[in-house]
């Protein structure tokens, strides 16, 4: 895979290499994935779909494990709410 993919993370435009995970794009944007029930910011931990710490809303679908999702052009990612 080659090329650059553009997506938005919490409204911020991000450009990453095609084939990257959404979790990588979130990290590239300087964001974290979600907030715990006690308000702590969480981020990808296992990177293989086991821990669920990387969940975010992707194109309107809540609770997506972003470490398992490849980026796509024009994707909208929300880490809060």
**Residue nearer to ligand FES on the CB measure, 4 or 62:** 62
Q: Which of 45, 57, 70, 78 binds ligand FES (CB under 6 A)?
A: 45
Q: Does residue 52 bind ligand FES (CB under 6 A)?
A: yes
Least separation in angstroms between CB 1 and ligand FES: 20
Q: Which of 9, 53, 69, 77 binds ligand FES (CB under 6 A)?
A: 53
Pairing state between β 55-58 and 61-65: antiparallel
Q: Does residue 22 bind ligand FES (CB under 6 A)?
A: no
Please tell me the distance from the alpha carbon of residue 18 to that of residue 12, in angstroms, as a whole number: 18
Position with the least CB separation from ligand FES = 67
Residues 6+ apart with CB under 8 A from 45: 51, 53, 54
Give the CA angle between residues 1, 4, 68 to the nearest 5°: 65
């Amino acid at each position: 895979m080659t090329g650059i993919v553009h997506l938005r993370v919490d409204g911020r435009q991000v450009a990453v290499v095609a084939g990257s995970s959404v979790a990588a794009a979130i990290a590239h944007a300087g964001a974290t994935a979600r907030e715990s029930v006690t308000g702590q910011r969480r981020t990808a931990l296992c990177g293989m779909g086991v821990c669920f710490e990387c969940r975010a809303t992707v194109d309107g679908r809540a609770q997506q494990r972003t470490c398992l999702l490849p980026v796509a052009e024009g994707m909208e990612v929300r880490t809060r709410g």
